[in-house]
């Protein structure tokens, strides 16, 4: 069956060739800088200013070991993975519970609360990080305590240990605000999904004696897999690439995620370009792989958003 679009591509072969030519040209500009970065990550510091070729003459794998160990990108890589996974788990659990209740259960204040979440999603608050900084700082004072383990007599425990649960320069200080930021969209997305889902399966499970939570956990959540996929990929992109908030609260290099570590390394006295490029390559590999595996969810999420308008 012939499908019509605005352009009469099928009728004129020259139009088709012209279209492909321009699409390929744009594709090259998308891929080239990345390819060039990877190629530069395999050159030596001396060579990198001389040899501009896309295919490196040497393969300096040592740039990568340098990046991982001396550049501390190994720790940063772990941190980025940790933050991304924990924030996504948090967002998925909290938002799916709420979205399920908004869609299926009755409770006082239901509509007001849901529209509250929606309204917040529409509201641009570019300065929110200022107040978050004050808040997390305050929480740091409230959740700090000192443990004195010197009575055990071990030499490495002789100084009292300061512990802050959530505060500036703590992992939770990054994670919690990020969960909050991404909550509204996930609740909206899942609520519309649950609304469209036929309730018969859940009713059957209820009759069989499943609790409300059991129905949510064993029936509704597994059925919402495609909506959860959309939430996972969009949140992964946001959190993996987040810079502003991470740069504000982390001063301790052992807790920094990759983008912050990159800026820190780039600002050091003598920038070793090949090592920096290796660090940048390490930064993009996981997210590009995830994107390639989950790209159908991106289109699904965008289509859902675009149709809703």
Closer to another protein by CB, 201 or 288: give it. Answer: 288
Q: How far is the CB of 52 from another protein (least distance, A)?
A: 5
Angle between helices 171-196 and 128-142 (to 10 degrees): 120
Is the separation of the CB atoms in 294 and 229 below 8 Å? Answer: yes
As a whole number of angstroms, the distance between CA 128 and CA 135 comes to 11
Of the candidates 178, 298, 289, the residue with the CA atom closest to the CA atom of residue 226: 298
User: Could you tell me the smallest distance in angstroms from the CB atom of residue 70 to another protein?
Assistant: 18
Rounded Cα gap, residues 236 and 186, in angstroms = 13
Q: Which residue number, 157 or 304, has a Cβ lying nearer to another protein?
A: 304
Q: Which is nearer to another protein, 201 or 289 (CB)?
A: 289
Closer residue to another protein (CB): 10 or 57: 10
188 burial type by CB count under 10 A (0-12 exposed, 13-18 middle, 19+ buried): buried
Residue (21 or 151) nearer to another protein, CB: 21
Q: Is the distance from CB of 139 to CB of 166 less than 8 angstroms?
A: yes
**Complex with another protein: residue 38 or 157, whichever CB lies closer:** 38
- Which two three-digit tokens encode residue 57? 């003459």
b (16+ CB within 10 A) / e for 138-175? ebbeeeeeeeeeeeeeeeeeeeeeeebebbbebbbbbb
Min dist CB 151 to another protein, Å, is 34
Residue 85 sits at the vertex; the CA angle it makes with 129 and 284, to the nearest 5 degrees, is 80
Q: Please say which residue, 60 or 257, places its beta carbon nearer to another protein.
A: 257
The distance of closest approach from Cβ of residue 68 to another protein in the complex, given in angstroms and rounded to an integer, is: 17
């Amino acid at each position: 069956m012939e499908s019509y679009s605005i352009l009469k591509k099928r009728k004129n072969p020259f139009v088709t060739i012209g279209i492909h030519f321009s699409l390929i040209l744009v594709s090259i500009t998308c891929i080239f800088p990345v390819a060039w970065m990877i190629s530069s990550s395999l050159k030596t510091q001396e060579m990198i200013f001389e040899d501009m070729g896309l295919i490196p003459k040497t393969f300096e794998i040592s740039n990568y070991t340098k990046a991982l160990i001396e550049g501390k990108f190994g720790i940063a890589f772990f941190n980025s993975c940790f933050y991304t996974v924990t924030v996504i788990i948090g967002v998925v659990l909290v938002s799916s519970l709420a979205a399920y209740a908004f869609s299926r259960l009755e409770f006082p204040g239901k509509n007001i609360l849901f529209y509250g979440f929606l309204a917040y999603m529409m509201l641009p608050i570019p300065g929110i990080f200022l107040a978050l900084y004050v808040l997390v700082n305050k929480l740091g004072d409230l959740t700090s305590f000192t443990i004195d383990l010197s009575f055990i007599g071990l030499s490495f425990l002789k100084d009292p240990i300061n512990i802050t649960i959530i505060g500036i320069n703590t992992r939770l200080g990054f994670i919690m605000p990020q969960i909050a930021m991404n909550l509204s969209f996930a609740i909206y997305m899942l609520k519309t999904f649950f609304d469209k889902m036929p309730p018969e399966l859940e009713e059957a499970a209820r009759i069989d004696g499943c609790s409300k939570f059991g129905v949510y956990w064993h029936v509704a959540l597994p059925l919402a897999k495609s909506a959860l996929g959309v939430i996972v990929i969009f949140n992964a992109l946001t959190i993996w690439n987040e810079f502003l908030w991470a740069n504000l609260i982390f001063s301790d290099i052992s807790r920094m995620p990759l983008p912050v570590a990159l800026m820190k390394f780039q600002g050091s006295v003598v920038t070793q370009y090949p090592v920096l490029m290796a660090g940048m390559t390490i930064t993009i590999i996981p997210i590009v792989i995830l994107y390639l595996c989950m790209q159908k969810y991106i289109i699904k999420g965008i289509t859902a958003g675009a149709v809703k308008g």
